[in-house]
Amino acid sequence: MSESKVFTGVERRRNPGLSGDGREAGEVAVFHELGKALTSSLQLDQVLRTIMEKIDEFLHPDTWSMLLVDELKQELYFELAIGKNAHGLKDVRIKIGQGIAGWVAQNQQAVIVPDVSQDTRFFGKVDEKTKMETRSIVAVPVRFRDHCLGVIELINCMDMEGFHDRDLALLEALADFAAIALENARHVQRIHELTITDDCTNLYNARHLNFILETEIYRSQRYGYEFSLVFLDLDHFKAVNDTHGHLAGSKLLAEIGEVLRDNCRLIDFAFRYGGDEFVILLPQTSKENACVVARRLHKLIRESHWLTSEALDVRITTSAGVASYPTDSKTKAELLHLADEAMYMVKNSSRDNVAAAKQGLLSTP
């Protein structure tokens, strides 16, 4: 859900308004359809698109949007926006408490504003950016338990008779369905993350390395790319555990994992392979360039002071091994073996050094 999905020019079903028994039957059908979507699919887009269609079908706003809360920045961003000039909302962010949507998120209360020119909460800069003319707003919070996940906001949906209580009840019910869909999607994402992530370092785990390697071999075969692996093993890590305890050892692994992640490119992958071993996968990287990366990481770890937040000053070195596709091997198993073998070549000689498959030791620290 990190990337906003903004839809414009959506085909609208401008059915005449329903009333009485027809309206009730229509609402029952809406909830049945949404319930079916929630129980038959964990795909967030499918459920949100169904909600989008029903809001459009029953309430006919000029524009409607779903804003989600960015907890870290305490802002709202547009996850969905449908209608005239909706594309202009893609990069807009609104502070919690700012504007009508921000107020709704902060107070977790629905609000109906028949005339925004008479409401001091209205944030006119959004209209300036999108070239829209907002006359009225209806906004409801998307809540799960006591937590606000976002806001559904309808622009210019009120007729001369205003916005009916029944319409508000329908919109709040749709917001409840949206909240369930969002929570389901987040749980699925979290479960997926747990299956591929190492608890101690928050790097990817060895299981995910095997999957990514297969993907990278396929991609590199297809497009004629090179890629490389760097194996890193901490020298005398057991001494850290013996001297400072296993909690300090785990903290050291976490710190090194963070440094490795921060010193990778966006296209690179960092893994905890097991114990005190780490692997960096470098897509579109030659063996020569991978050796440069390995030397740099080796030097960075060697020259850093670790566990300073624990009032300690631990120094540690690494043994590193490099292997590349297709220079050294074209198979996953052999590539892993060669990178591991190069690393153990260092481990079994001087330690604190870098070696490359089929080349041997590269440098003296």
Instruction: List per-residue pLDDT tens for the chain, 365 residues long.
Output: 444 444 433 333 334 444 555 556 555 565 656 665 555 555 677 777 777 777 777 788 888 888 999 999 999 999 888 877 777 787 889 999 999 999 999 999 999 999 999 999 998 888 887 788 889 999 999 998 889 999 999 988 877 677 788 888 888 888 888 888 888 878 877 787 788 999 999 999 999 999 999 999 999 999 999 999 999 999 999 999 999 999 999 999 999 999 999 999 999 999 999 899 999 999 999 999 999 999 999 999 999 999 999 999 999 999 999 999 999 999 999 999 999 999 999 999 989 999 999 999 986 55
Domain final residue, candidates 135, 169, 194? 194
Instruction: Report if residue 20 sits inside a domain.
Output: yes
Report the candidate in 135, 142, 136, 140 with the shortest Cα–Cα distance to residue 165. Answer: 140
Domain final residue, candidates 142, 174, 194? 194
Instruction: Report if residue 165 sits inside a domain.
Output: yes
Asked if residue 333 and residue 233 are part of one domain, the reply reads: yes
Place of tokens 């960096």: 280
Asked if residue 174 and residue 111 are part of one domain, the reply reads: yes
Number of domains in the chain: 2
Per-residue confidence (pLDDT) for residue 37, from 0 to 100: 57
User: In the beta sheet, which residues pair with residue 321?
Assistant: 231, 355
Asked if residue 149 and residue 210 are part of one domain, the reply reads: no
Contact 248, 256 (CB under 8 A): no
Global pTM value: 0.61
Asked if residue 276 and residue 133 are part of one domain, the reply reads: no
Report the candidate in 102, 127, 150 with the shortest Cα–Cα distance to residue 4. Answer: 150
Domain that holds residue 218: 206-361
Asked if residue 245 and residue 160 are part of one domain, the reply reads: no
Contact 328, 358 (CB under 8 A): yes
Asked if residue 328 and residue 236 are part of one domain, the reply reads: yes
Asked if residue 334 and residue 257 are part of one domain, the reply reads: yes
Asked if residue 226 and residue 188 are part of one domain, the reply reads: no
User: Residue 63's domain is classified under what CATH number?
Assistant: 3.30.450.40
Q: How remote is the C-alpha of 176 from its chain's centroid?
A: 23
Asked if residue 342 and residue 225 are part of one domain, the reply reads: yes
User: Residue 234's domain is classified under what CATH number?
Assistant: 3.30.70.270
Report the candidate in 199, 182, 221, 179 with the shortest Cα–Cα distance to residue 331. Answer: 221
Contact 264, 198 (CB under 8 A): no
* Environment class of 141 (CB within 10 Å of its CB; exposed 0-12, middle 13-18, buried 19+): buried
Asked if residue 176 and residue 72 are part of one domain, the reply reads: yes
Asked if residue 139 and residue 91 are part of one domain, the reply reads: yes
Helices (H), the chain: 20-40, 44-59, 99-107, 125-130, 165-196, 206-223, 237-244, 246-262, 287-303, 332-347
Instruction: Report if residue 293 sits inside a domain.
Output: yes
Domain final residue, candidates 194, 225, 253? 194
Instruction: Report if residue 200 sits inside a domain.
Output: no
Instruction: Report if residue 148 sits inside a domain.
Output: yes
Cα gap 216→283, rounded to integer Å? 7
Q: CA-CA-CA-CA torsion for 248, 250, 253, 255, nearest 10 degrees?
A: -60
Instruction: Report if residue 41 sits inside a domain.
Output: yes
Instruction: Report if residue 268 sits inside a domain.
Output: yes
Asked if residue 329 and residue 223 are part of one domain, the reply reads: yes
Instruction: Report if residue 199 sits inside a domain.
Output: no
For residue 351, count other CB atoms closer than 10 A to its CB: 15
Cα gap 190→127, rounded to integer Å? 36
Rg (CA), the chain: 28
b or e along 295-309 (b: 16 or more beta carbons within 10 Å of the residue's beta carbon)? bebbeebeeeebbee
